[in-house]
A = this chain, B = another copy of it.
Amino acid sequence: MMGGVLAGMRVVESSAFVAVPLAGMTLAQMGADVIRFDLPTGGMDHQRWPITAQGKSLFWAGLNKGKRSIAINVKTPRGREIASEIICAPGEDAGLFITNLAVKGWTDHLSLAKKRTDICTVTLRGDRMGRPAVDYTVNPSVGFPDATGPVDGSEPVAHVLPAWDCIAGNMVVSGLLAAERHRLRRGHGQGVDLTLKDVAAAMLGNLGIIGDVAMNGESRAKAGNALYGAYGQDFLCRDGRRVMVIGLTVRQWRNLVKVTQTEGEMDRLARSLGVDLAEEGARWHARDQITKVLVPWFAARDLDMVASAFDAGGVTWSVFRNFREALAQDPDLSQQNPMFQSLHQPGIGRYLTPGSPFDFSDLARQDPRPAPVLGQHTEEILADVAGLPDSEIASLFDAGVVTQPGQAIRLAS
């Protein structure tokens, strides 16, 4: 659609909350025609916070941008039939389905494959035993909150970003594209299974944390805002603003020492400890002493002075902000960034809205599009995708099997 890299592809989504809606939106923002179906009352995430003063979900609006919405009562047999027809509708670049709400005997892969043999589905579940799991439960179970927070903290600290959902959602995209690539070459579809728990469990291994426990018997301790395993720390400037400063690579470390003019002190520190601070492990072990050397430099300067010195000296750093400050202060979070536009979201209002972070050199950057109102595309999807005649569509509306906003008025037009 409109020239995106996935133009011509059609994906149907049955979902709620973060991961699969994010997957569908990511595909839509790359140009796929993504159809999300929901109950006429909305899915489980239709009221998800944050919401406006009028109770409209900013969350739902954020994660469903650029999709088409059909409202269909899949609690009725006819509603399920129609949804299946939409999922399995013909088209070389269609027959693609993503879900975190797979229902056995209906939207599981085998049931859909009976209707369209080459269908590709991606199903995200909680864990491999079929138990429910959400980001808020997966994260404590694998151990990250225990390792998070101030050095002297005694309590686990959960992350606020639903990181596992965001990772899993992007994996749903990759899994679908990989399955569709395979279908194009071999002619047959398949079901791709993925669980939120496995995404987290695998990452624990990928990041070396399992190896650390197995080989060193280590369970990483809380380290506050320090960068693990090298050097990186937060500092307070004279004006009370806080910055994060990185000495992960040798180059970053040298630039930091140079700009803060602490070469002499760092040399003395290294000699006194008998270590080479060009080694990342030495910086990690000596992090508290390094920080002590650096603190006065920050305490003597306002943020502006720190910023210009660091930018001139090639230091990798950033300032801490709350969300409101980030929106007010950061040009990357404004229309100066071509990823963003000020967009009117129906039912909510106009605000800064991101498109896709991808920039494909061969294709124009796709403008962000608003999320649909629930059921906004019911009629056109029934006609164009399910291929139903007008008379049948009218009777489905009459029977309440499908709905759309301002239904009576629109039907009459």
Contact = CB atoms under 8 A, between A and B. Distances in A.
A133 interface: yes
Interface in A32-53: 44, 47-53
Interface in A221-265: 224-225, 227-230, 232, 234, 242, 244, 246, 248-249, 252
A146 interface: yes
Nearest to A174: B173
B160 A320 contact: no
B178 A333 contact: no
A161 interface: yes
B360 A179 contact: yes
A145 B320 contact: yes
Copies of this chain, count: 2
Contacts of A18: 207
Given A192-B361, A244-B137, A361-B109, A207 B59 contact: yes
Contact of A280 (B48, B133, B210, B360): B48
B163 A163 contact: yes
A325 to B, nearest CB: 7
Interface in A109-167: 109, 126-128, 131-134, 136-138, 140-150, 155-163, 166-167
Contacts of A146: 320-323
A11 to B, nearest CB: 13
A383 interface: no
Contacts of A284: 49
A406 interface: no
A217 B328 CA distance: 11
Contact of A316 (B17, B65, B132, B148): B132
What DSSP secondary structure best describes chain A's contact surface? mixed
A316 B225 contact: no
Given A145-B320, A202-B357, A215-B348, A281 B22 contact: no
Contacts of A155: 150
A191 interface: yes
Contacts of A25: 206
Interface string A6-29: 100000000001100010011000
Interface stretch (A181-189, A266-274, A394-402): A181-189
Interface stretch (A75-83, A193-201, A297-305, A374-382): A193-201
Nearest to A138: B318
A42 to B, nearest CB: 12
Contact of A333 (B192, B204, B252): B204
A20 B192 CA distance: 23
Contacts of A320: 140-141, 145-146, 156
Given A26-B174, A192-B358, A325-B219, A207 B143 contact: no
A61 interface: yes
B357 A207 contact: no
Contacts of A366: none
B353 A210 contact: yes
Nearest to A55: B281
Contact of A199 (B171, B199, B318, B357): B357
A210 B177 contact: no
Interface in A331-385: 332-333, 337-340, 345, 348-349, 351-363
Contacts of A212: 50, 58, 323
A142 B234 CA distance: 15
A244 B194 CA distance: 23
Contacts of A190: 360-363
A107 to B, nearest CB: 15
Contacts of A126: 316
A105 interface: no
9 contacts: A48-B230, A50-B212, A59-B208, A136-B246, A156-B320, A178-B358, A178-B360, A194-B359, A211-B351
